[in-house]
Amino acid sequence: MNPTEYQILKSIPGIGPVYAAGILAEIGSVRCFNNNNALAKYSGIIWRDNQSGEFDSEDTPMMKAGNRYLRYYLIQAAGSVVRYCPEYEDYYNKKFAEVPKHQHKHALALTARKLIRLIFGLLVKNQLYSPAKSR
């Protein structure tokens, strides 16, 4: 028996029925997207380039184009996944320490981007989440 998309999302620690239903309602079919980058762009969790010549700004704003409801569900779900999944907690803490300004927002958005890669991979492969092997 193949798991449903709803069951797949609920298998991720920290994603409950509300986040799973909201994400699926806003995505529709994951088959509409060529890759996880297309899904991230659709949700608006991408960053604007802020550079000129040799100058590259460290403070680049996140683009606000895209599905704002999906962006909301993904960022909120990322915050929940950080509390329940040690791998995501480590990633969040690493990204939090890397940036000087807007640490929480930036780290949470990057964690949401990592969550998008996980969600896309699980839905495309139609498999339940299984935690990574311990080191």
81's CB contacts (< 8 A; 6+ apart) are: 12, 13, 14, 15, 88, 111, 115
Tokens read off for 57: 């700004």
Write out pLDDT tens, residues 30-54: 999 999 999 999 998 876 666 666 7
Predicted confidence at residue 101, as pLDDT, reads 79
List, for the chain, all residue ranges whose pLDDT scores fall below the cut of 50: 1, 135
Predicted confidence at residue 3, as pLDDT, reads 78
Predicted confidence at residue 135, as pLDDT, reads 45
Secondary structure letter of residue 14 according to DSSP: T
Euclidean distance between CA atoms 97 and 135, whole angstroms: 22
Predicted confidence at residue 16, as pLDDT, reads 94
66's CB contacts (< 8 A; 6+ apart) are: 41, 42, 43, 44, 45, 46
Q: What is the pTM of this model?
A: 0.85
**CB count, 10 Å around CB of 61?**
10
Reduced to 3 states (helix: H, G, I; strand: E, B; else coil), residue 20 is helix
